[in-house]
Structure 1
Amino acid sequence: MKMLVCMFKSHLQTLIIKHQTLPNLNHCLIRPIFRSYSPKRTIDSSEFKISFLKNKCGLSGKHLIRASKCVHFDSSDHRPDSVLELFRNFGFPQPNITRIVSVVPCILQSLKPEKLLKPKLDFLLSMDMSHAMVVRTVTRDPRILARSLNKHLIPTFDQLKDIIGCGPNAVALLKCGPFIFTNTAAMLPNIRFLLRQGIPISQIFKFVSHYSRILCYPHDRFCQVFLMVEGMNFDYSSSHFIHALHALSFHNDSTWESRCLLLRSFGFSNDEVLEVFKKAPLIMCYKENHINKKVEFFLKKLQWTPSRLSCNPKVLCYSLEKRTIPRCSVLQVLVSISSTSKSYNLSTILSIDERKFVRDFVSVYKDELPEVMEAYQGKLKFDEYTFKQKGAVKFLAINY
């Protein structure tokens, strides 16, 4: 036996010496063996993955690229198919499935979808949601399915019930904004704060539905903005209150001041600037060049005063090119030919919906006055209003 051991050691030493004297041995013999196998498997796996994400999940462009980097499976892995099958059986249309996978592609790697994903869908159903509502809720924020049922979703719902005071309102709030499930740490303290300040629950619903991003602000910053708006004496039940919170959250102090300076440069007093903000808060969210262009139009083209504009700043919220100028052009044509004896206020005319305006001011005159349609379509160059009437039988009295 000792002799065999000695012979084996001697043979092993000889092999080591030969290997050391042949530096290309590993390159010539060993590496080609692996090259002919591993890379080929990687390419096949990658090609299958891309094909699956594109053809079965409906991904394309940047979503396809991002998802392909997040998931890892090949043709022998049946998990992705079982996930898609679960969604289809529940009632998710293909466009909804595509969105879910694009947001949380890692969901395709769920080991047991029936045990991990379906209970979360069933939990939403148990909250008095219909299948259609669950589909809508998950599609709006697919990250819900990436959260733990027992450690996050259920505790979040219980916390919300405690804050709101009853289950039905908590369910209604989650229907408005499923993002509460995935932004819990930020949103719940801010919702609790609003309720303590006496904000009606109906306003909370609007916050969650339209401005959920504001509720995700750090609590200290959110409280600071709220106190600023409160100091301006907004009505808590007014939509202006919500818009004001959004506008002030949108700006830092320097941006806010630059908007105020811009309005003051047109002759607005500090009180008039505040009046503009209180009656149309979202104006302060516009870019400075947009504000400048609109204010200049009303002050120079229509001869309004800053005081007049501050009394009805809503007219600044309308598109200058798509609504204000075409409508003013139509009215100028009607004024010039004295076509009607009706009296209208310009701000009222700008506020009516498009269908009513076309019916009352364009369609009714288009046969006898082709210029009206041309003015509405922007084919007549608009310069400024002269307010001069042609003819004396009828007139259009417009309060500019």
Structure 2
Amino acid sequence: MKRFFPILLLAALAAPVAAQQNTTDVARAAAEALEAASTRLHNAQTAEDRIAALSETLHAYEDGLNALREGLRRVAVRKTTLMTSFNARAGEIGDLLATMQTMERTPTQLHMLHPTGVVGTLRAGMLMGEIAPALDAEAADLRAQLQELNDLELLQNSAATTLEQGLAGAQSAREELASAMSNRADLPQRFTEDPIAMSLLLTSSETLSAFASGLSQTIDTELVEMDTEAWNRMGRLDLPVTGDILRRFNEQDAAGVRRPGLVIATRPNALVTTPIAATVRFVGPLLDMGVVVILEPAPNVLFIMTGLEQGFGAVGQIIPEGTPVGLMGGSSPDGDALLMQANSGSAQNLSETLYLEVREGQSAVDPAAWFAAH
């Protein structure tokens, strides 16, 4: 997509040679993914196709924006390096310019004359033959650095528009996705819910553990049996959201609290998807944990995700792998704020946290048993 072309420029110009390939490849892959997702979205005929295409589009926007932020961060670092070098060499550069200006004003023949006579003049000529190329090389290096600094300035100035376009596109994809998910009616239903039992469970549960343990009482009528394919995928599932793991199973936090799950730092408004086909057991606000999504990928196994701002799906639905189940909260910064973050050396804004817990029967187990969480 044309709107992501500046990402490639930023990556190529801002990164050192050793890092260029990786950053540029990421940017190029994001642009190609956005192009492919846009084509798929245009050709989507069913609700499932449209939702899949919107999910791909949103992921592509997120990857592209992240690549752009990384490029801008590298631009800021490179600019700082150049300016520090210029400031440190201010006296040396001034002397070089003064010397070159003097040499330009002085006739060439006078450079070679020496008051000691012919031998001194010959020695001076030999010395000038060595000095002149070194001065030319130094001047060429200085010109190249000044040109690079000018190019980086231009890239930073043009990046704001690119960022705004990417942020607007991502937000539009989120809104379309939420609308498509709320209107979806083509998913199979595994069971019907007992609304009275669910209401009683919601009002009586004081902990997440108590609520999860009581979910078995909220099923009214079983319609189909569960697929047990999930057991064959244990230990190889992707995390439901892109981010960094802050704390692992039973790892103590700063307040000394241990939780039997993963705490994942992620970007504002990040897309959360199901890592495998599963039945939706609960979607909605619970206690003080924001929106909670509970999936059942296999009999008596629950994936519990808390901290979302928006949840998708209806209780009893069987959803395919990769289906969006919600969005994280938070406020995505505008283009100017992202530029400021990049200038301060920050490439990502992982301000939101998703809590992921896995339960087998009545007990919480280490999510590492199910997820390839490195």
Task: Name the TM-score, length of structure 2 as normaliser.
Answer: 0.18
Higher relative contact order at CA 8 Å, sep ≥6: structure 1 or structure 2? 2
* Higher helix fraction (1 or 2): 1
Higher strand share: 2
